[in-house]
Amino acid sequence: MKLYVHGGTKFQRHVADTASMYMCRRLKLTRFPSLEVLVKICKVQDGLNGLCYVAEHGDVLYKPRDLIVEIDKKVDLFTFIRTVCHEFIHVKQYVLGEIREDLIRGTAQWKKSRVPVSTPYRKQPWEKEAFRLENKYALEVLTEVEISMNGELL
**Which tens digit of pLDDT belongs to each residue from 3-17?**
999 999 999 999 999
Query: So what's the pLDDT on residue 118?
Result: 84
Q: Model confidence at 151, in pLDDT bands (50, 70, 90)? A: low
Q: What is the pTM of this model?
A: 0.89
Q: What average pLDDT does this structure show over 42-54?
A: 92
Name residues whose C-beta falls within 8 Å of residue 77's C-beta, 6 or more positions apart in sequence. 15
| pLDDT tens-digit series, residues 99-120 | 987 766 777 889 989 888 788 9
* 3-state SS class at 25: helix
Query: So what's the pLDDT on residue 89?
Result: 98
Query: So what's the pLDDT on residue 59?
Result: 45
Cα–Cα distance for residue pair 26/147, rounded to 1 Å? 17
**Which residues are bridge partners to 70 per DSSP?**
40, 51
Mean pLDDT over the full length of the chain: 89
Neighbours of 29 (CB within 10 A): 20
| CATH numbers and ranges of domains, the chain | 2-144 (3.40.390)
Q: What average pLDDT does this structure show over 146-151?
A: 66
CB contact at 8 A, 128 and 87: no
In eight-state DSSP terms, residue 72 is E
CB contact at 8 A, 69 and 39: yes
DSSP string, 104-130: TTTEEEETTEEEETTS-GGGSHHHHHH
